[in-house]
Structures are given as structure tokens and as C-alpha cells.
């Protein structure tokens, strides 16, 4: 049994809300007097919006279904906003959100952009993501794709994200 609590904390002179999932054994205090859970996730309201749109606190089926480690890791990173897209790296340099753009397309470089918009990944997108998801872009279909329990869809999505991250590395290095 888990409990979701919210706490307001002062961080860089700005009030942020933390969501902390705690288990029945309770929480312990970490840095800045923020209560940290032993096992679960702390998510700032201002980040990980993508992850929060479909997260469920249970074992995710893709972890079993995507059985190739090199593909499983990137999809996990994307789901947890632990990646090098500008929407995240811009946070580290205090870049305003609206300026965290893809250098290729000049659009906000977030998870949605990687999955459906960025022209750098057009070729692999056609290969790995069904036309159903690629047509008529919206967050409903994005959520549907991320929540899909269909094994082949999950494996293809993981492969797409792996190859997209590899392409992004070459773009970043050039
Ligand atoms: Zn782009």
C-alpha cells in the first residue's frame, strides 16, 4: 500500500511542489529537509511532465517484453525523462523552457518531438512506429503508444528510441 503526499519546499527562492510516493515504512529526510522515499520516485512538478502523463506505480510490462538490454535502457530513460533532450538539459543551464529547442527543427525538443516530429528521425520513425500513431499527432495517441501492452509495439518503440538517441549523439558531436 502506497501513499502519495505533496510537500511545498523552497528551492532557489522558488516554491516548488514535490510529489513523494512513500511506502508503509514511511520516509526519511534527505538534503534540504526534503523527505525522500527509500524506494520510489520524487518528481518535481516542473519536470518529467512526459513521464507523469502516463506513469503507473507498478511493474511496467515493457520491462519484461523488451528483452534486449540495449533497447530497454533508452525507453526507460525516455519514460523517466533521464535523457539528453534539450527539454531536460536546458534545466541544467536554466534555459527558459520555450528556448529549449531542437537545433535542427527549431521546435521545443521534448519527448513528443523526438517520437513524432523531429525530421532527424523520419526514416527510423517510418520503420518502427505504426502509421496509426504517426498520423494525426496528439497527446492522446502518444499516451496510447506509451501505454501499449502489445509486445511488438513495445519492442519497436524501444528500438526506435535507441536508434534516435544514437542519431542524436552524432548530431550533437558534429
Ligand atoms: Zn528536431
Q: Report yes or no on whether pTM surpasses 0.95.
A: no
Residue 20 Cα to ligand 1 midpoint, Å, equals: 33
Residue 165 scores a pLDDT above 70: yes
Residue 144 Cα to ligand 1 midpoint, Å, equals: 22
Cell numbers at 23, concatenated: 511506502
Taking the C-alpha atoms of residue 29 and residue 2, their distance in angstroms, rounded to an integer, is 18
What's the pLDDT score for residue 50? 73
Residue 40 Cα to ligand 1 midpoint, Å, equals: 32
- CA quadruple 97, 101, 107, 111: dihedral positive or negative? negative
Residue 168 Cα to ligand 1 midpoint, Å, equals: 10
| Domain edges within the chain | 3-44, 62-173
Residue 46 Cα to ligand 1 midpoint, Å, equals: 22
Rounded CA Rg of the chain: 17
Mean model confidence pLDDT for the chain: 76
Q: Report angle CA 123, 87, 173 to the nearest 5 degrees.
A: 60
Cell numbers at 82, concatenated: 533521464
* pLDDT level of residue 76 (50, 70, 90 thresholds): very high
Taking the C-alpha atoms of residue 141 and residue 134, their distance in angstroms, rounded to an integer, is 9
Taking the C-alpha atoms of residue 55 and residue 40, their distance in angstroms, rounded to an integer, is 13
Q: Write out pLDDT tens, residues 87-141.
A: 999 999 999 999 999 999 999 999 999 999 999 999 999 999 999 999 888 888 8
**Of 86, 82, 74, 42, nearest in space to 158 by CA:** 74
Residue 147 Cα to ligand 1 midpoint, Å, equals: 24
Residue 27 Cα to ligand 1 midpoint, Å, equals: 40
Residue 23 Cα to ligand 1 midpoint, Å, equals: 40
Amino acid at each position: 500500500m502506497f501513499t502519495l503526499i505533496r510537500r511545498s519546499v523552497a528551492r532557489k527562492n522558488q516554491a516548488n511542489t514535490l510529489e513523494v510516493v512513500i511506502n508503509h515504512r514511511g520516509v526519511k529526510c534527505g538534503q534540504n529537509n526534503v523527505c525522500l522515499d527509500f524506494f520510489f520516485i520524487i518528481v518535481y512538478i516542473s519536470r518529467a511532465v512526459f513521464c507523469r502523463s502516463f506513469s503507473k506505480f507498478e511493474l511496467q510490462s515493457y520491462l519484461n517484453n523488451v528483452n534486449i538490454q540495449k533497447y530497454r535502457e533508452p525507453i526507460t530513460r525516455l519514460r523517466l525523462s533521464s535523457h539528453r533532450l534539450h527539454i531536460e538539459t536546458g534545466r541544467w543551464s536554466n534555459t527558459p523552457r520555450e528556448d529549449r529547442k531542437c537545433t535542427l527543427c527549431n521546435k521545443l525538443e521534448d519527448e513528443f518531438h523526438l517520437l513524432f516530429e523531429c525530421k532527424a528521425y523520419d526514416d527510423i520513425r517510418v520503420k518502427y512506429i505504426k502509421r496509426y500513431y504517426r498520423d494525426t499527432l496528439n497527446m492522446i495517441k502518444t499516451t496510447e503508444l506509451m501505454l501499449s501492452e502489445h509486445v511488438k509495439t513495445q519492442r519497436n518503440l524501444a528500438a526506435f528510441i535507441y536508434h534516435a538517441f544514437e542519431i542524436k549523439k552524432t548530431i550533437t558531436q558534429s
